[in-house]
Chains A and B, each alone.
Chain A
Amino acid sequence: MLEVCGITQIFGGVTALADVSFRINQGDITGVIGPNGAGKTTLFNIITGIYTQTSGRVLFEEKDISGLPPEKLARLAMVRTFQNIELFGGMTVHENVMVGMQTKSSSGLLACALKMPWSIVEERRIREASLKWLEFTGITDLADVTAGNLPFGKGRLLEIARALAVEPRIILMDEPAAGLNSQETVALAQLIKRIRDLGITVVLVEHDMELVMDICDRIVVLNLGRKLAEGTPREIQDNSDVIAAYLGDDD
């Protein structure tokens, strides 16, 4: 599904990632974990086209997507969320999700401004179809609230709803549980499983170990820019290198 091949990223002499390779299977929930500064977010930014890597390739469904900008990746059905949620703060919750349907609609500037019949039909379709994602994430009652006024936890759900409106085949979430309370985290775990059940491959960077061990099918561990280990949650828990990296090596 998604293959990371020998990614190296050097920022002005500092090696953030060194020859990282792994593969993500279709339909899995994969967790990318590692101590602070391990390069997880950098890796996400490379996969999703925010940064361009120094070397290495990213393959998505056998296609080389290295260096493609995020708007192209959205058209290939890859979407992501951000650690510090990025909402369209001045727009309503419903409008935020409607923007998510950008790649599934095509009326141009003039057609919209002149209200051509096909643009009216399309507008109605966008308005209705986007409601489905509000319902899926459980924020239907907030549809008309300005997104900038949402509490953090609801904002997180909205960001996910908006990403799902792109109808992705893969969604990458950067620390989805950050800033959530324990109740919200439990609900998030359920939501992520339901996203997987839609047939969407999920990749997440996460610090909440309980969450990761609970929902992930596979885990990739990064440390100091290198891949330390890869496997099922159980294999990772028993891996001595991983334990050493997290707890410090005593001998």
Chain B
Amino acid sequence: MKRELLKFLAFTVFVLLLPLYFQGGYLMNVLVFVGINTMLAIALNLLLGYAGQISLGHAGFFGLGAYLSGILTATYGWNPWLAMPTAAIVVGGLAGLIGFPILKLKGHYLAMATLGLGIIIYIVFNETVDLTGGPSGLSGIPNLAVAGVTFDSDVKNYYLIWGFTLAVILFSLNLANSRVGRALRAVHDSEVAARVVGVNARILKVQIFALSALLSSLAGSLYAHTMTFISPASFGFNFSVELLTMVVIGGLGSVYGSFLGAALLTLLPEFLRAAHDYDIIIYGALLMLMVMFMPGGLVRGIPDLFRKVFKKGGGDSHA
């Protein structure tokens, strides 16, 4: 427990000091996205890595948060601080309602159902032009502001987003190491055994699905208020797959792994500008390689790699 807290404090210090190194710069903007994607990857990881339930529609919940927040503030003039939790509760509630029937499904069928859900949400963003602006997007979304300070620069947004991201990390770590987190992992490992010792697997899955959607919605709202412009293209199927890739590459069932996965997949395109049109191929290849050679994700694979290299240096033979 104490080590867990120290790790979190070290990570917090790292996050707080990082902007000093970049001194503003363009990368600050990218790091804002790393924060948003970390929240999303953690939200999906709670569902996929802990509870073992797949979702191919998480970009939809992310988009719902962004659009609800955007429409409530830009069109109806709500205060963003009121719009964000409202959106989160609505999206979480909606996911809970949908979760009841679809989480009865397992494996491929659940993947298909959530895929369908994501596509339906995407179509709604495109077609309800009066509300969302359709394919050309929704603009004029206000920035968040606290006590006269408006979050309108990359550095300010960095601290805003990462403040929320750190809160989500702490929240998820606490959850993972609690009776609820253990019950989730139990359902993942053996649902029948979990039920036999009294875990209500059905309710638990619905709860975590709703929570996962709620956190994704929060990330969406923050995205809308930092970008001030949103369009459906950001919330399509491709992004759901990208989120899934982040979670798997980072490490299933690891909160810090989600950060690694999100950081890698967000920073990579910046370094692969030349290969821009092929990014989805690179993600696919990465995903395959990771599953084949580092099934535990970066968070477990990198220490393993170090150990192997170290062992070889020491002249150890295979057992």
The chain A residues found within 8 Å of chain B, CB to CB, are 48, 50, 69-71, 73-75, 79-80, 82, 86-91, 95-96, 98-103, 105, 107-109, 112-115, 119, 122-123, 126, 159, 162-163, 165-166
The chain B residues found within 8 Å of chain A, CB to CB, are 171-172, 174-175, 178-183, 185-186, 188-190, 192-201, 207-208, 211, 253
Given contacts A71-B201, A79-B197, A165-B197, contact A113 B174 (CB under 8 A): yes
Is there contact, CB below 8 Å, between B185 and A88? yes
Instruction: State the 4 A-B residue pairs at the shortest beta-carbon distance, nearest first.
Output: A74-B198, A112-B178, A86-B193, A103-B198
Which B residues are CB-close (under 8 A) to A119?
A: 178
Which A residues are CB-close (under 8 A) to B174?
A: 112-115
Which A residues are CB-close (under 8 A) to B195?
A: 69-71, 74
Which B residues are CB-close (under 8 A) to A69?
A: 195
Selected A-B contacts with CB under 8 Å, 16 pairs: A70-B192, A70-B195, A71-B196, A71-B201, A86-B193, A86-B196, A87-B190, A88-B190, A90-B188, A96-B186, A99-B194, A102-B183, A103-B197, A109-B175, A112-B179, A162-B197
Given contacts A74-B197, A109-B211, contact A86 B171 (CB under 8 A): no
Contact of A102 among B190, B198, B211 (CB under 8 A): B198
Is there contact, CB below 8 Å, between B192 and A107? no
Which A residues are CB-close (under 8 A) to B194?
A: 88, 99
B170 CB to nearest chain A CB (Å): 9
Closest residue of A by beta carbon distance from B200: A71
A122 to B179, CA, bound (A): 9
Which B residues are CB-close (under 8 A) to A99?
A: 179, 182-183, 186, 194, 197, 199
A199 to B301, CA, bound (A): 48
Is there contact, CB below 8 Å, between B197 and A90? no
A90-B188, A166-B198 known; 15 new pairs, CB 8 Å cut-off, are A69-B195, A70-B192, A71-B200, A86-B193, A89-B189, A101-B179, A102-B179, A103-B197, A105-B179, A109-B207, A109-B211, A113-B180, A122-B179, A163-B196, A165-B197
Question: In the complex, which of the residues B192, B197, B200 has the most CB atoms of chain A within 10 Å of its own CB atom?
Answer: B197
A108 to B183, CA, bound (A): 11
Which B residues are CB-close (under 8 A) to A102?
A: 179, 183, 197-199
Question: In the complex, which of the residues B183, B189, B192 has the most CB atoms of chain A within 10 Å of its own CB atom?
Answer: B189
Which B residues are CB-close (under 8 A) to A123?
A: 178-179
Contact of A82 among B183, B185, B193 (CB under 8 A): B193
Contact of A70 among B179, B196, B207 (CB under 8 A): B196
